[in-house]
Chain A
Amino acid sequence: MSGTTPNGAPPGASDLPQEMKGRQQSSSKMAYMAVIAVVVIVVIIVLAGWQLGWFKSNSSTPATASCPAPVSLTGAGSTFVFPLMYQWYTTYTGSTVNYESVGSGTGISDISAKTVDFGASDAPLTPAQKTNASGILQMPESAGAVAIIFNLPNVNFAAGKSLNVNGSVLAQIFLGTIMNWNNTPLQTLNPGLTLPIDPISVQHRSDGSGTTYAFTQFLSSASTQWATQVGYSTTVNWPVGTGDKGSSGIAGAVETTQYSIAYVDLNYALNNEIHFAAVENPTGAFILPSVNDTASAIADSKDSTNLPLGTGNWSGVDVENAPGAKDYPIATFTYLMFYQNPYAAYGSSYTLQKAENLVNFLNWTIHAGQSYSEGLYYVTLPSSVVAADVVTLDSMNYNGAAIPQAACG
């Protein structure tokens, strides 16, 4: 809200006369009066609001605010986001950033223990974790998709075609109830293919991972048996299969294991040109994942226009199974976590200058930083999500006072 009002008001006012002119000529005088009245009222409200500090957080947003002297910021967490983060902090000159890719859970631990300035996690905070770290904010800073990869020797696909799968069949494969490639439900989805009789070798992540979170969330919504027996989390109790550490472990296992199937983040699959399956979306279309289709899927998903506040509960946010005809169904956010009021969280040793450095860097990642996503095969945040992030950043304060923001670096 506060981010758009001051800029939004003048255009809104200038639109009005055109609309009015299109109506009856006779009442034009009244219309002009009304317009002037509206403009006057809006100006008064804006000025009064300015005076009362309504727009305090964005009154400092304009680039007129000067950049603070750079300080060193530390962050820790997600290994998935590390390459993008690296690109960000080596490009950004406003602060020196030191990021350690230790894993999402440790990122959450670290930000809860206040040993870092920001944490990064591929899964949102659970309500318990939120209570544990009072005053914490979270915002999506990038997004990803989960690709289904497989190794089917001697099966030839037509150009632009791949193996077709859907949530229900995937759930049965990962539950161990579909054990062979030519099992009926799987064969039915692939009428043109002769699938082998060989047993399916299921591979999954062994380490806790946001990819597992998104994939099991997808399976849970597709299969009630999965939802009740296994559920979704960053690590689950897998009914069948071999666990491999990291995306590199998964990719390597599928590459060398015939008749295997696994899930991996799209980023990894695209960068290594690994062949992936087409997944059925709610409209019944089989979609091969791409970075752009994932971005549009997130923009289309019903939760993306209804995102919680930075202080809110994100654990129920579901951007999967978007309704668009071309939307890829297994999408997910990755998050940055930081404190709304660094002064209150870290104490007086946390200077305003450092807080400015932090908010400027975070702001940069969701604006200029997004332009680096596509080249590295990360999903660029849709504008609705960026807008929600801006609200979150604007809500930050330093011991009650707004933190001046500036576009630095």
Chain B
Amino acid sequence: MAFDRVARRRWKSHLFAGLTLLCVVAALIPLTSIVWTAFDRGAPALSVGFFTQPLPAPCGSAQTHCSYGGVGPYIEGTLVLIALSSLIAIPIGVLIGIYLSEYGRRGIGRVISFFTDVLTGVPSIVVGIFVYTLTLDYILKTGGNPENVYSALSGATALAIIMLPIVARTTEEALRAVPDSVREAALALGIPKHRTTLRIVLTAALPAVLTGALLGVMRVGGEAAPLLFTAFNNPLGYTGVTQPAGALPTMIYNLYQTPYANWQADAWASALVLVLIMVILSVASQIVFTRVRRRISGGQ
């Protein structure tokens, strides 16, 4: 009898292990399909010229020879927008996460944490409209030129606003996962709270904080809708913080909607490039991270 029960429990455990594996497979099917679709449809555009040539003229069924290209400046624009928005959102987001986890665990801190969650649910297009409205209001009040409403900076601001709550909440969760005993031990040694938080708790939670930051970067790296109202477009990519900027997602969005085969292939190939950029960013940040970590533990 007892043996039976043990066998059943063991069997249940195996079944469960199988189910989790199934979940992984289920999650990988769409990714494979998306990458394959993008590769399949973008293949004609994938060549050296795709990165070096300007966007070619649209090529309809009336034309016989179609050329491809134009992704270069938009890669630059996207990288700059990601960098600018990360510079704004990651430090602020992490500090807010610290507040929520270390200083605001009850009372108003809970309310702030709650509204951070609410902000993650604001559609990105609404964030774009929001930044556009505020920037325009500000320009009109200060007597500036309304045409300055479109800039890389306002695009980055919109992206940062999308990123901020994601970074803040993941940081909060990451810090809360650090056992209280760690904080108590440090405080008992007479280390001031801010040092405990920054040097010990944050260091311990750093991998998870990085996950949050990367999730935020990945989320905004693919956003087109808010950029339509803020960064606008720029065939030259990035030409200055106060100038409009082009970005890959808006390029993909614009080209895909047109009826021209070469532009549609360009759109798919650009999607592939965008995913690749994200992979590189993830891996690179991981390498930097482990190196920093090794240096810290190397001093032991």
Contact = CB atoms under 8 A, between A and B. Distances in A.
On whether A and B touch (CB less than 8 Å), the answer reads yes
Interface of A: 74, 76, 79, 82-83, 86-87, 90, 98-102, 106, 113-117, 246-248, 251, 267-268, 270-273, 346-347, 349, 375-377
Contacts of B62: 271, 375-377
B171 interface: no
A83 B229 CA distance: 20
B254 A115 contact: no
Given A83-B58, A113-B146, A114-B146, A272 B259 contact: yes
Contacts of B264: 248
Contacts of B250: 100
Given A83-B263, A86-B57, A87-B58, A247 B257 contact: yes
Which of B54, B250, B257 is most buried by chain A, counting CB atoms within 10 A of its CB? B257
A82 B235 CA distance: 13
A90 B57 contact: yes
Q: Which 5 A-B pairs have the closest CB atoms?
A: A271-B259, A100-B233, A271-B60, A83-B58, A268-B259
Contact of A102 (B58, B228, B234, B258): B228
B228 A83 contact: no
Interface of B: 54-55, 57-58, 60-63, 136, 145-147, 149-150, 228-229, 232-235, 244, 250, 254, 256-261, 263-264
B57 A115 contact: no
A74 B150 contact: yes
Given A271-B60, A377-B60, A113 B136 contact: yes
B145 A346 contact: yes
Contacts of A346: 145-147
A380 to B, nearest CB: 14
Contacts of A106: 228-229
B61 A76 contact: no
Given A74-B150, A83-B58, A116-B147, A267 B244 contact: no
12 contacts: A74-B150, A86-B57, A98-B233, A98-B234, A100-B228, A114-B147, A115-B146, A115-B149, A247-B259, A271-B60, A271-B260, A349-B145
B153 to A, nearest CB: 15
A98 B235 contact: yes
Contacts of A246: 257
Contacts of A76: 232
Contacts of B232: 74, 76, 98, 100
A160 B70 CA distance: 39
Contact of A248 (B54, B244, B257): B257
A29 to B, nearest CB: 61
Nearest to B56: A90
A86 B149 CA distance: 22
Contacts of A98: 232-235, 244
A3 B234 CA distance: 36
Nearest to A101: B254
Nearest to A268: B259
A346 B145 CA distance: 8
B129 to A, nearest CB: 10
A98 B259 CA distance: 21
B265 to A, nearest CB: 13
Contacts of B228: 100, 102, 106
A82 B251 CA distance: 12
A95 to B, nearest CB: 13
Contacts of A102: 228-229
Contacts of B256: 248
A375 B57 CA distance: 11
B259 A267 contact: yes
Nearest to B63: A375
B267 to A, nearest CB: 10
Contacts of B244: 74, 98, 100
Nearest to B228: A102
A376 B61 CA distance: 8
Contacts of B254: 79, 82, 100-101
A376 B145 contact: no
Contacts of A99: 233
A349 B263 CA distance: 37
A270 B146 contact: no
A120 to B, nearest CB: 13
Which of B229, B232, B234, B258 is most buried by chain A, counting CB atoms within 10 A of its CB? B258
A112 to B, nearest CB: 10
Contacts of B58: 83, 86-87, 376
B128 to A, nearest CB: 10
B38 to A, nearest CB: 16
B147 to A, nearest CB: 6
A268 B232 CA distance: 25
A82 B250 CA distance: 13
A268 B61 CA distance: 10
B249 to A, nearest CB: 13
A399 B259 CA distance: 42
A373 to B, nearest CB: 11
Contacts of A83: 58, 258-260, 263
A113 B150 CA distance: 12
A251 B257 CA distance: 11
Nearest to B139: A115
B147 A82 contact: no
A113 B139 CA distance: 11
Nearest to B62: A375
Contacts of A101: 254, 257
Given A87-B57, A102-B229, A74 B258 contact: no
A62 B232 CA distance: 36
